[in-house]
Copies of this chain bind each other. A is one copy, B any other.
């Protein structure tokens, strides 16, 4: 397998972009990434997206965006793994470049979600769960996460306020990220009195959806030199694993086995241990997912993930910085785009472009993108050279 580098990145602000179409949002990020990479074309386009058939009435985003951004006749395809679609598209592109089949690829995560009313979006998000055995019973996606959180609190004795540091850290970090959806500091008091969504998940446990796109251009690493002030960023590891699609089928619903498995494969591939990472962009769709991800990936013992927040280890200056640009919680969660936002943000950290939330000397970062309630997990380790 050939080593692959990230040559350029691009992203759009996340929000309710009613003045921009799906095409324009994705196109903006794609063209920004090509501009940042200094290329006018690429051999292929891989699009990560979950909801465009349901919300925008548009399938076939590969050809759709290749057409729009001027990649005439180039190979293009869409990859879907629910909220893990962004990183799944990156992994597909990585395989093709690694195989020597392509000299370059553009990876675009994109989602336009706010054209539908809230309850319709909730229904489309439920397509990540098991239609026959979960959704048919009336459970929503947040409902499934609420059941998991309830069980976690019961099992390990944590109270709701113990999750507050995760959201507070995410909101604080988003303050200096111009692309973030939310720019608003929060406190434990506010976290505790926020509106209930599905007990025990309240509004400040949950990440906001949004319209947005993030993209990267990847090439064989030997095509890229390290420049002064701009290191070469390589993908040192990539892995994807699955768990049962329905939460009730799991031996232990409090263990993200696919997160564990894909992170383990990445650690082996990169020859690293969890403590070697300078930052971890995890998939904090709900605060419970932050705790479970930290545990599954070796940063905390089972049931002790929340402790990392309570002991203030997760801030940019802490031992395990997470959500350094706001995470899903405050940067926002345009579902199929999220995996690429995580990757773009790690590149920004490795380049030292993160201002107030820059992790000092960041050289290695891990991005973990989750589809469904932990059913598909794609993990990447990026390193500056």
Contact = CB atoms under 8 A, between A and B. Distances in A.
Contact of A245 (B44, B60, B100): B60
A143 to B, nearest CB: 16
A245 B64 contact: yes
Interface stretch (A34-42, A126-134, A275-283): A126-134
A330 to B, nearest CB: 25
A106 to B, nearest CB: 13
A240 to B, nearest CB: 4
A245 B67 contact: yes
How many chain copies? 2
Contacts of A62: 81, 88, 242, 376
Interface string A68-88: 000111111111111000001
B100 A1 contact: yes
A53 B257 CA distance: 25
Nearest to A127: B59
Interface stretch (A90-98, A290-298, A307-315): A90-98
Given A82-B60, A243-B73, A244-B67, A95 B101 contact: yes
A99 interface: yes
A58 B127 contact: yes
A62 to B, nearest CB: 6
Interface in A115-149: 124, 126-128, 130-132, 135
Given A54-B53, A127-B59, A249-B67, A78 B75 contact: no
A239 B77 CA distance: 12
Interface of A is mostly: mixed
A209 B160 CA distance: 51
Nearest to A21: B132
13 contacts: A1-B100, A2-B99, A21-B132, A57-B126, A59-B80, A60-B80, A60-B127, A60-B372, A63-B375, A64-B245, A66-B242, A78-B80, A99-B100
A88 B76 CA distance: 9
A371 interface: yes
Contacts of A51: 53
A50 interface: yes
Given A60-B371, A60-B376, A92-B96, 13 more contacts: A60-B80, A60-B81, A60-B82, A60-B375, A62-B242, A63-B376, A73-B241, A73-B258, A75-B241, A77-B79, A78-B81, A79-B92, A99-B99
Interface string A129-173: 011100100000000000000000000000000000000000000
Given A75-B242, A243-B73, A58 B95 contact: no
